[in-house]
Amino acid sequence: MERALLGGGCFWCTEGAFKGIHGVESALPAYAGGFDPRPHYRAVCSGTTGHAEIVEVVFDETIVPFETLLEVFFTVHDPTQLNRQGNDIGTQYRSCIMPTTSKQGDVARRVIDEMQPLFDADIVTTIEEPTHFTIAEEEHHDYYARNPAQGYCMAVVGPKISKVRAKHAHLYTA
């Protein structure tokens, strides 16, 4: 199994996009990329920790390649928005890839170059070290699945997940 660490804005959206993909064993919300060795939700949301909200995706590369996960990643968020996704503003919502192997770093750079022509603005996704990686609090795990009627989930998370599942329907298990 391999690990992918991907930040595409609010981790509730990103986590939900990876749930149910054939070959993905787990997708968990997490924090990484900052200087605080013990990040927690309120501190990360304040923008003072340097951390991004990310998702740890554990996957079987022989079933779903990292490149395919990056295609999903670039569908679930707008990689041309610097330090924001919609109304979520701050470095904690930055678009970032935190490779766990040197191969992932090479693949990420190549996929960004390949994806650039699909966007009208420059992709601002960073490739960075996953400093102080920490799994988020349990209350954030499967947040959308447990709270589909919550306002933010209805207005933001649900539409993003629907978009991803429509575009990449062939990746999801029944």
Nearest 5°: CA angle at 65, between 102 and 92?
65
At residue 158, the pLDDT reads 95
Closest listed residue to residue 129, CA positions, set 57, 62, 13, 35: 35
d(CA 134, CA 106): 24
6 secondary structure, DSSP code: E
At residue 173, the pLDDT reads 84
CB burial class (10 A; 0-12, 13-18, 19+) of residue 128? Answer: middle
Residue 10 bears catalytic tag: yes
Of the chain, the percentage scoring pLDDT greater than 90 comes to: 98
In this prediction, the residues of the chain whose per-residue pLDDT falls under 50 are none
Which residue is listed with tokens 């993905």? 24
Mean pLDDT of all residues belonging to the chain: 96
* Multiple choice CATH, 2-171, 3.40.630.30, 3.30.1060.10, 2.40.110.10, 3.30.70.1060: 3.30.1060.10
What is this structure's pTM?
0.96
At residue 174, the pLDDT reads 66
3-state SS of 115-170 is: HHHHCCCCCCCEECCCCCCEECCHHHCCHHHHCCCCHHHHHHHHHHHHHHHHHCHH
Residue 68's alpha-carbon distances to 13, 24, 43, 75, in angstroms, are: 17, 11, 32, 11
d(CA 151, CA 121): 30
User: The dihedral of CA 10, 146, 162, 18: what is its sign?
Assistant: positive
Pick the catalytic residue: 10, 13, 96, 153?
A: 10
